[in-house]
Each structure stands twice: as structure tokens, then as C-alpha cells.
Structure 1
Amino acid sequence: MTNKIQPVLPQITIPPSIGTPENVTTTIVDTSARPQDRTTLRKEIRKCNVILLVYADHYSYERVALFWMPYFRSLGVNVPVVLCANKSDLVGQGSTSQVVEEEMLPVMAEFREIDSCIRTSAREHRNVNEVFFLCQKAVTHPIAPLFDYKEGHLKPACVDALKRIFYLCDKNQDGYLDNQEMRDFQSRCFDKPLTDDDLDNIKLSLSKALRGADLSKGIDLRSFLQLNKMYAEKGRHETIWIILRKYHHTDSLSLEENFLHPKFEVPEFCSAELSPAGYRFFVDLFLLFDKDNDGGLNDEELEALFAPTPGLPPSWSDSAFPSSTVRNEGGYITLQGWLAQWSMTTFLEPKTTLEYLAYLGFEPPNPKDPITSALKVTKPRKRRRRPGRVERNVFHCYILGASGAGKSSLLDAFLNRTFDGLYHPTIKPRRAVNSVELPGGKQVYLIFEELGELEPAILENQAKLDACDLLCYAYDSSDPDSFSHIVDIRKKHPQLDELPSVYTALKADRDKTMQRSELQPDQYTSSLNMSSPLHVSVTWNSISELFVALAEAAANPSTAFPKSDDDMIDRTSLYLTLGATACAAIAAVMIWRRSTNAM
């Protein structure tokens, strides 16, 4: 009597508790190679995550390259394949290494989708569990994105990811992972300590692989990449994946979307600012990369700092960074300018700041806190005319005025630049950001923006106006036609009256001239019940007083609005009268209660 084996076995499910490398459930689906079952085979292949391709003799081995692998490709599937040489108990000659070298490696070299290979024997239960473990690992820890077996090296995307991880682990940025940094790396990735013996063995293996490399200072980038290459060569690619995933890399080796772009909403009329933890991170980053201690980040230091990122944020490049903020005499961004630049970025595009915090390795002081703890959201500023200070540290100011009024020179003076007498018309909007110290010692950041030829379009855009805290109306006190431009702007755009504003007369070092306007500037501001224009010159040391006045107006917006005559009425006597009336009413109630109780 012969045993009949059914052509297709029932589906088998292996729960996570049975030796799976991760918390996954594995479903094994048997298929038939018969032509009449080809439709079912196609459906199952298109649904699967990994293919276990089994052969047992020379004929079935030949069909691997001649039929099966081309067939998988014709179906357009992109899943790993595990190659299995079964019935190894029937092969009486040839060692395992010979079989791998003569049979399997040539096929693997031809078909890159083959993830791994193994010899098994179902009769002797040899490597049966292992073959399904390889299938699981091919899905949960694929080798294809990491290592190129044909070329024998890590793939470029994997190298880039590991370079980022090395950068983040090299806390002192000396180019080496010292013993403590290696222990911290081991603890973070594998949740277990790295013993001295383990570290010595790692260094010994690296020294042999790199022909006596000097590891006395620690493990450099070349050695770190070699260590991971050794893991891949030995089939320990799950170790590389554990490292990559601990540092938020996906299966495609990009960073996780929710890590780069966490949910962070800024309600209407609110704004985003760096929190104390965010400021501390950027201060430490600046000090760490200012290798020559000259108080500025030169091109090489900036390049090293932004190494794990795609480069400078696009908005920085568009604003000709670092000319948008404070630089030292060598033209390099200072710590003051560095913090100002990030304050502006956070205010204008907080999601960009969060993205770069992720790239640069920000870690919240409390490990349980999200990366968004580096930012904070300010209170709404809907009621601009209400007396009182605005609880914010970053303010956005548009400077408006006629061409040639001196707006660009004012921005240069704001950044402590020397005066340039040549006239350069501003075409596209230009921003400058710097810190301003208010009376009392509080420091805030002021974003000064000149609108250029886009001024009309921006002033018509309500969203742009809602993002603005203050208007600075500037005119050339030596040009008789300069002030009329401001009058025309306010007539054409009455919505500007919803924003606080400050008037300033530039080029006060020149002879003052009468303005060709229905009202002179002082009369005009007086008619609005506002302060007279501040007369300043970028050549005067007192120019900083203007920036303090602007910041103060932004922090106390109710002081910088046009006021009607009703708004100017002194309500002190009214408040005193109301107070006296209220006191009299309270006294009357108390007397009435006492008389009632006496009865």
C-alpha cells in the first residue's frame, strides 16, 4: 500500500508566541506547480510577503532559473525569495559549502530578489524551523535594502542612514565613538550593557578586517560602517535593522513620517515659538560645532552641523542665509544670529523646525515627551486693541514706504551692518531677524520684512496681514514726495488700520524738507491721535531706539492704533464716578440688611 500525499496542504498559521523574531503572525500557504492550478498560484503569489522556493533534485534546481524566477518577475511582484534545497539527507556527496557555492550563489547572483538560501531535510527535521525563520526575517528584516551581495558592500541608502546614526551617537563630535558613547549606543539599541570584553572583541574584529586600524581613540565612521558590513555578511542583518529602527528609519531607509512631521497645529491668531528646551538644544548645537571658538559658524562648521539633514532649509536658501541675520566680522553667523534665525523659522514655518530637530537628534529632557516639546504655542492675539502686553517673544513687522526711502538700509542697520550709500532696489521680499532688548531687560525677536515689488499683493492678502504683528511706515524726510506714498497706501488698503503701526522718518541726518502732502507727517499722525514720526538715521548710534520702539509697540499693540476722539476721552473721572456709585450701593445694601435684622 502506497501513501498518497495530497497535492496541496491546508493553510497553516504560526502565532507570534512560537519563536517568531518579532511580534508577527506567520501564515504558510502551500501551492501547486501543476498547470491547471496556475490561476490559484498567481493569486497567492500576488498576496504573499515572501516566497519560499523549494527544489530537491537537479531538474527542479534547473527550473529555479529557467522558469520560477522569470515567472515571478512576469507577475510584477516585488517580494523577497528564500531558496531552499530540500531532501539534503539524500545527497550523499558534496559538503554544504560546496552546494551553496556551486548551486545557490550563482542563482542568487543572477536574481537579486533571492534574499537567502538554506539546505533542509524534512525527513530528518534538519533546518525546518530555520527555513521559516529565514522567511520571517526576509520580511521583518530584509537584506535587500541594506547589502549588495554581488558587489560585497553596504548600499548607499544604508550607508547614509548609518552615517546619520554615527553623527547622533558622536555626542562630542570628535569623529570617534569612545567607549562610553559605544555603551550608550548599545544600551539604546539593544537594551543591554556592553561589557569591556564585548567591546574589546568588536575592536579586535575591526582591527583584523581593516588591517590593523588604530582604534585607540574609539571607533571612527569607517570602522562603524565596517562593523555593520560584517553583520550583513554574517547574515545578522536583523542587528542592522534594530539599529536603524531605533533611530526612526523605515523599511525604505527614509525617516518615519510621523517622526519628521509630527502633528503640531497652530490655532488662528496664535504663533509658534521655541520652548526653553528648544533654545537650549540650538545653543548646545552651536557651541558644539564652533570648533575654532571664534563665536561664528564658518562654512565648514555649518556643513558639518547640517551633515545628517538634506542641507539648509529651503527658506534659508531663499533668504540668502546668513545675510538674513547677525554675522561677525568674518561674515559667519553668530550665536545671537543663529538663535534669531531659528526663532524666525519656527514663527513662519514651525513644521520645518520640527523636521530639522528630528534630523539633528533633539531629545526632550523628559524621554516620555514628544519632539514637539521643543516648541510652544502662544496665546491668541485676536483683541489687538485691548490694553495690555502680548505674551509672546517673537514679533513680525512689515516695513512699508516709497522706493528709495531707506528701508533696505534700515534692515542692514537692524543687523549691525555698515551703511552702504549705493541704492539697490528691492525686488523680492527680504527678511531680517535679530533680538531686541525691551525696557526691563526682556529679550524678544523681531522679524523685519521689506516687501519689495510684492507689496501690493501682500497687502491684499488677508492671511499675510493676519500673520503680521506691526506695520512700520517709513518715509525719507529729505524727499518731498516720500510721505505721500504712505497716505496713498492707507487710503487704498483700509484694512491696514486693523494692525498697530509706528511712523518713522528716515535719513534724519539730511536736511528736512516739506512733504507734498495735504498734511505734514506730524499733523497727519496727530489727526490719527498717534505718536509723531520718530526721526532716525542709520548713521546714528541711536538707531537701536527705533527697534526698541517697534518691539514695544508689538508687545503693547493697543498703544499703536489710530484712535478716534471718543477713544481719547479721559475716562478717569468716569471710572471714579462708577466706583463711588458702586461703593454707595454696597453701603446702602449693608445698612438695609442691618435694619432688617434689627426688626
Structure 2
Amino acid sequence: MRQEIRLVLAGDSGVGKSTLVTSLIKEIFVDDVQPVVPEITLPLDVSPEGVLTKIVDTCAAGDFHERFETELRRANVIALVYSVMDTDSFERIPSYWLPYIRSLGINVPVILVGNKVDLRSNDLANEELEEEIAPVMSDFKEVETCIECSAKQLLNVSEVFFYAQKAVLYPTAPLYDSRLHVLKPACVDALHTIFQLCDTDKDGVLSDVELNEFQRLCFKAPLQLEELEGIRALVSDGTSGLDGDPALRDGALTLAGFLYLHTLFIQRGRLETTWTVLWTFGYGMDLTLTNAYVYPHFVIPPGCAAELSPNGYQFLTEVFKAHDKDHDGALSATELAALFATAPGKNHPWGANFPASTETDEAGAVTLQGWLAQWSMTTLLEHRTTLAYLAYLGYPLFANPFSNTSLPGSGTVSPHGANMGMYTSASPTSYAWMDGTAVSTRPRQDERLTPATTALKLVRPRKAADRKKSGADRCNVFLALVLGAPGSGKTALLCSLLGKPFQTKYTPTNKLFRAVNAVEEGGAEQYLVLQEYGSHQEAEALRSPSKLANVSAIVYVYDSSDTNSFSYITNLRQQFPHLSTLPSLFVATKADLDLVQQRHEVQPDVYCRKLGLRIPHLGAGPLNVSVRQHQVAGLYSLLLSIAANPRGAVPQHSSSLSYARMRWKMAAYVFLALFGATGTAWAVLRIFFSRGPSLASLASAKAGSWFAPLWGGAARSEL
């Protein structure tokens, strides 16, 4: 958001530049003013957006020339002043001043100010003024508008500076081609996207309800019935006889009508209306979505992760239902294309893996469960992608009110169209869309957007030891890596999670493949993501422990019918020792085939026991499954349980096991040594005291003492 506007007044000597500034400040006409008025600063409350405005008076003659060029280069907007009574001063605008400004390499908005209208003997009709200005506007696109005023009579003086501010805050150049009198392609694209988002029932038109919602979003004010009728009449009258798509269909506004309205706003000098709409929907001055809107601030603390919140799930469910035009509970390829029409490239973010990565119906259309599962996986792995696409799909606009302020109405001539009645003034009966007067407050541009973080939430760390320390929610989405030798059946396990049929033909996995689905565990549904690396990616991906930050468990898969399959995963564990820090499950696939001895120093069951695995309802493992025969033995529920509660599923290092055994042995040795020493001492004392005559005297002196039982019954009888 711009913090300051620097307005520079230029033009021939004697046209009234200094007098204009003086009349603005003093609000009275001063006949004798200094040649160049010092720089002044306008209060923030007189700017349309509360932006600091500095006004610089200039003189191009003599000693002032060098400073004059410096000020022109510093300007954000230039007001070229001429006298309506001096034809030469007007003709020098296109013949000298505008070419001169261009020669300096200055590219800022310019407004033309015709001063001294009080000296004109008769009023100039709007049509005559348009004819006079139109050639200049056609040749010099930097000219935003033209306004006539009188510094002596204080006529339109404040409007001069108001429209200069507007030329910076609401520029024409990004939106409108002044030569062709049409919206520029980037503006059309942005407004088209906004139209699609506002068309919530996806019928290709904006109904009265949708128009009212649009009005509420952008201007925080409803449209009255007569205002809706006024929109329809305006569009119908303005587009009748024009070629192209109809502006209305059954009384509802089409895209063509929506674009026509915005063209009309610009041609009537109401650029703030179109800019307010664009800003509301996250667009910046370059007509692209701003980074702050697409990627709102959302920090994930170390050890935590992001998941969709209930708000996020609800919004994505509504988007799904709105685009399920045939109401079959699934999105076809055509429906998906329509859904992502407002996204960059008009496509989803998942590439060729989608929809193969989630649940679909028999025809390959994405079910609601598959849709939500896909976004759950995306949020866990790439939360910025989720935030961006939520913005592209319309979140959070349709849940947050926006406000708007009215602008003072002023007479002006706009160059952006022909025969449109350019000279306009605010009317208390005109509707908010057309002139902004029916609304109460307009937010600053940097106050319009609410971060989209309400669609996401933080979840507790993946490490069980840290979960009690975190104030975040419990995890609902878990990621498990599936590792194993080529041909061991990893892809079959992923496809089985999605309920897809078993493929008898083996196809090697050459790139990353993920599958996600909802799995019931403990009476609640959670999302399980299985990830398989391509054969050429596995080593590179496993080399960095940081890439395993979101991994909740590892599935080690081997082919129980292949003698060499198990050694692959043991070698993998040796090559990447950090894998042992994660909960692990060993799975023996192809249980429907003959079991063979693995060429390994120990067999898989012994290996798992040596790792100290104690998985509930399984023991050490491995788990035997057969995808071909649909016998997965509760694999996915078991995975969720160890991911959520990894106790007993984290392998013990061999060194840790050896150390534990050594400690038990040492404790046993110490116990035996102490027990033996105590027994020996007792026997020696018993023998020693039983032989000596002094025992009686000693016993009598200490009878009943705490060590008396050591003497035994015989000693006491002797006493």
C-alpha cells in the first residue's frame, strides 16, 4: 500500500498554479501570491485512502529549471495546468508539455487542469469539452482525466487535488486501454475469475442473491430492489444493438454484462469501484494475486505439522458439492476442470498422480471422501499449496465482511469513453456499484484481506514424548513410507488402500507415488498417506533425515516368495541408520504363494524379535498379507495405531539391546555376590561363637539384643 503521494503542478507561467495551491489552503482567493508556493502537506483525512499527500508548486523558468526537472522525476502524479482563456497554454499541453515529460523518461499519471473558468463568458457543454480533450487523451495514454476549475471562485479546487490523488491510488492504465476504449486483457481475466467465484451455483450468471453477496463482500451494503432493477436496465440499455454475448440472461447478469458494468465505471471516472473489487479479491496493482493473499502468514513450529481445520473441510466440501453438477457424489474430469478454472493454468496442483492417488468411483471420478483425503495429504506435505488453492477457490472471501467508504462527488471529464455522459456527479439515489455513495466505509487496501489461516490448524508433534507438551490438536493425518525391493508389492499395497483392483501385470515405479484414504481406527476415521519412492529416488530421499520430518511410520515390505527380498530392506536399514528412530512395521507380501527361506543371517521373525518390536495385536512381526486375495490383515488400521502410539514399534538399536542385557547380567552378578557373602558371614559367625566359652557371658550381657537371633536356638539354650 502506497504511504505517500507526491503531486507536482506544472504548466506555463501565469496559468494559476500557485493560486490554485493558495486557494486550496486558505479557502479564499488571494490576488497577490508568491511566484512559487513552498511545498505543503495535506492532512491524512483528506485523502481517499488516508495517504500522506505532498503538493509541490513549480516554475520552469530561469534558475528554477534544474529544480523543476528534479521535482518532475520525484512526482507520483503531475497536474498540467492551463488557462481556459489562453488557447496557446492549452495547445502547448500536447505540443510541448506531454512530449517533454515523456522525454525525461517519466511514466506517471497526468491530469489536465483547465483554470480560470470564471473568465469564460459562456458555459462549455460537456460534449464540446470532450471533443476538445479526446485527441489529447487518444495520443497520450498517461492522461487520466481533465477537470475545469476556478481558483478565484473556489470552483472545483479541492476536486483538482482529489482527482490527482485518485490518479495514483486508482490508476487507469492497468485496467483500461484509452485508445481502444476497452478493458485490458489482464483486467478482463481478473474480473472473469471474480465473476466465476461469485457465481456460487455455477450456472453462468449472477442472480440477485449472488449480486447482493458480491455487493456485501466488496462494499458492505446490500442492494435494494430498485437498485437491482437499475442495474438490469442500465446493462440492457447500454448493450442493446451491440454484437457479442448477451449481457443478461433471464434477467440475471452474465459475464458480458459484468464486464460492461466495469467498463462503464471506468469510463465514468469511477475507477475506485473496480479497484475496490479487485483488492477485495486479493489482486494487487499489477492485477495478479498478492503474495500476502495467496500465502498468508502461517508458521509451523518445529516438530508440529499443519492439517485442515473444520472450516477448511467444510469449505472444500461446499466447493465439491457446487461443482458436482450431476449430483452423483463424484467429480468427473469435466467437473474438475470447471472447479479449477479460477486457479493458475486452470488446473489442479497434483500433476499426473491425480486422481490415481485417492479414492475414485468405477468411472474414475473423484468421490467426496477422495477429494477431502487428497487435500488432507496436500496440507500435511505442502501446506502452502493448500493455502494458495484455497485462495484461488474463493476462501476466505465468502465468510468475511468487507467495508467501504464513500467518496465525495465531483464534476469531472473522463477521457476513457465516447458519448457516455462523462460529466458526472454523485447522486444520493444512485446505487453503490455505480458511484460508491450508498456505502459507509471503505477500508484501506492493506486492511481488506483476512489471512486464510482459519482453514488450517496446527497438530501435535509426531514424537510421542512431546505430545503432552504441545497445546496443538491431535494428529488426524499420518504419513507412512513404504520401502522395499522392486517387485516386492509396494504399489499393490498403495492401490489396495484406495480400494483399486489388483493388477497382475508388474509395472515398475519410476517416480514418487502417494496414496491417501480414510481409515477407521479406534472408532474414528483418520487419514493414512502411503508414500513410495521411485527406484531412482529412494536413496536420495532417505539420505537426509530432515526429509522424514512428517513421517509417522515406515513399512518395510518384502516378498515372502523371493529369497533375496528381505536382505534388501536390512541393507537399507544399515545404509540409513536414522530410519531406526521411526516406528516400523515389517510386512511379508504375497502370502498366497509358497513361503521360502530368506537368504539372510537370520529369518525375518527372528530379525524383528532382535529389534525389540512389541506391536500390539501382532508382536514383533512380520505381518503376512496377500493383496491378490484381499487379505491385508488389518494392515492400515495397524499402521494408524502405531503411528498414533509408537510405543513398542520403534526398533531398539543392537547396542542398546546389548547394553540392556549387560546391565541385567551385572545386576544378577551383584545380587548373587551379596547373597553369597551374607550367607558365608552368617555361617562363619555361627561356627565361631558356638565353640568359645565366652559366648555365654556375651549372650547374657546382650540378651534380647537386635543380633541375638544370629546365635540360633542352641546358643540360647546354653545360656
For normalisation by structure 2, the TM-score amounts to: 0.74
1:138 aligns with 2:193: no
Residue of 35, 43, 47 corresponding to 2:74: 47
User: Which aligned pairs between 1:360-371 and structure 2 lie closer than 5 A?
Assistant: 360-363=393-396, 367=400, 370-371=451-452
Q: 2:224 aligns with which of 192, 195, 209?
A: 195
Q: How do 1:99-498 residues align onto structure 2 when only pairs under 5 Å count?
A: 99-211=128-240, 214-311=248-345, 316-317=350-351, 320-363=353-396, 367=400, 370-383=451-464, 391-438=474-521, 440-452=522-534, 453-498=536-581
Output the CA distance in 2 between the equivalents of 1:467 and 1:568.
Answer: 33
Q: Deviations over 1:32-77 (max 9, x none)?
A: 1215322211221222221001123333333323332233223333
| Percent sequence identity over aligned pairs | 45
Indicate how the Cα distance of structure 1 residues 251 and 385 shifts in structure 2: closer, same or farther if over 3 A, else same.
Answer: closer
Q: 1:365 to 1:154 in 2, by over 3 A?
A: closer
Q: Shift in Å at residue 386 of structure 1? A: 9.5
Partner amino acid for 1:518?
A: E
Contact 1:164 1:308 in 2 (8 A): yes
Cα offset, 1:84, TM superposition: 1.9
The AA in structure 1 aligned to 2:379 is T
Partners of 1:313 and 1:552 lie apart in 2 by: 36
Letter in 2 for 1:346: T
Q: Shift of residue 402 of structure 1?
A: 0.9
In the alignment, structure 1 residue 542 sits paired with structure 2 residue 624:
no
1:6-40 superposed Cα distances (whole Å, 9 cap, x missing partner) = 4312223332444x433234322111121532221
1:330 Cα offset (Å): 1.3
Q: How many angstroms does 1:348 deviate by?
A: 0.7
- Paired with 2:515 and 2:60, the residues of 1 have a C-alpha distance of 70
Note the residue ranges of structure 2 that are not aligned, 5 or more in a row.
1-30, 241-245, 402-449, 614-619, 665-719
Structure 2 residue 86 is matched with structure 1 residue 68: no
Instruction: Return closer, same or farther for 1:213/1:263 CA change in 2, 3 Å cut-off.
Output: closer
Residue 281 of structure 1, CA deviation: 1.0
Question: SS of the counterpart of 1:259?
Answer: helix
| Cα-to-partner distance string for 1:280-321 (whole Å, 9 max, x where unaligned) | 11111111111011222122211221122214777511x521
Aligned CA distance change for structure 1 residues 99 and 126 (closer, same or farther; 3 Å): farther
Question: In structure 2, what residue type is equivalent to 1:459?
Answer: L
1:229 CA drift (Å): 1.3
Distance 1:213 1:64, change over 3 A: closer
- 1:140 maps to amino acid: L
Alignment match of 2:621 (pick from 518, 527, 532): 532
CA distance in structure 1 between the aligned counterparts of 2:171 and 2:556, rounded to whole angstroms: 62
**Which stretch has the larger CA shift, 249-258 or 307-316?**
307-316
Q: What is the CA distance between 1:385 and its match in structure 2?
A: 10
SS at match of 1:542: coil
Would you say the 8 A contact 1:396–1:468 is kept in 2? yes
- Secondary structure of the residue aligned to 1:265 is coil
- Shift of the 423–60 alpha-carbon distance from structure 1 to 2, 3 Å rule, reads same
| 3-state SS, counterpart of residue 377 of structure 1 | strand
CA distance in 2, matches of 1:100, 1:385: 75
Q: Is the 8 A contact 1:46 1:77 kept in 2?
A: yes
Query: Could you tell me how far apart the structure 2 residues matched to 1:130 and 1:385 are?
Result: 63
Contact (CA 8 Å) 2:461, 2:467: kept in 1 or not?
no
Counterparts of 1:17-32 in structure 2, within 5 Å, are 17-18=45-46, 20-32=47-59
Comparing 109-118 with 383-392, greater Cα deviation is found at 383-392
C-alpha contact 1:207 1:215 (8 A) present in aligned 2: no
The amino acid across from 2:289 in the alignment is L
Helix, strand or coil: the match of 1:176? Answer: coil
Cα separation, 2, equivalents of 1:380 and 1:329: 37
Bigger-Rg structure (1/2)? 2
The alpha-carbon deviation at position 504 of structure 1 amounts to: 0.5
- Structure 1: runs of 5 or more not aligned: 572-599
1:518 correspondence with 2:601: yes
The Cα shift of 1:186 comes to 2.1
Q: RMSD in angstroms over aligned alpha carbons?
A: 2.8
Q: Secondary structure at the match of 2:379?
A: helix
Q: CA deviation at 1:213?
A: 5.2
Q: CA deviation at 1:128?
A: 2.4
Counterparts of 2:346 and 2:81 in 1: how far apart (Å)? 51
Distance 1:398 1:129 in 2: 68
1:59 counterpart = 2:88: yes
The alpha-carbon distance between structure 1 residues 47 and 385, as it changes in their structure 2 partners (threshold 3 A), is closer
Q: 1-side partners of 2:67 and 2:247: how far apart?
A: 56
Identify the match of residue 14 of structure 1 among 42, 66, 72.
42
What is the Cα deviation at residue 557 of structure 1? 1.0
Match of 2:708 in 1: none
Q: Which has the higher mean CA deviation after the structures are superposed, 241-250 or 548-557?
A: 241-250
Greater CA deviation, 152-161 or 363-372?
363-372
Equivalent pairs, count: 565
Would the aligned equivalents of 1:388 and 1:558 in 2 still touch at CA under 8 Å?
Answer: no
Are the equivalent residues in 2 in contact too, given 1:96–1:119 (CA < 8 A)? no
Partner SS, residue 304 of structure 2: coil
After TM superposition, the score normalised by the length of structure 1 is 0.88
Given that 1:395 and 1:469 are in contact with CA atoms closer than 8 Å, whether structure 2 keeps it comes out as yes
Residue type of the partner of 1:158?
C
Secondary structure of the structure 1 residue equivalent to 2:113: strand
Letter in 1 for 2:627: V
Q: Secondary structure at the match of 1:197?
A: helix
Alpha carbons 2:462, 2:552 under 8 Å: kept: no
Give the distance between the partners of 2:381 and 2:298, measured in 1 at CA. Answer: 14
| Letter of the structure 1 residue corresponding to residue 538 of structure 2 | E
| Contact map agreement 2:217 2:280 (CA 8 A) in 1 | yes
1:84 is paired with a residue whose SS is: strand
Q: Distance between the aligned counterparts of 1:423 and 1:308, measured in 2?
A: 39
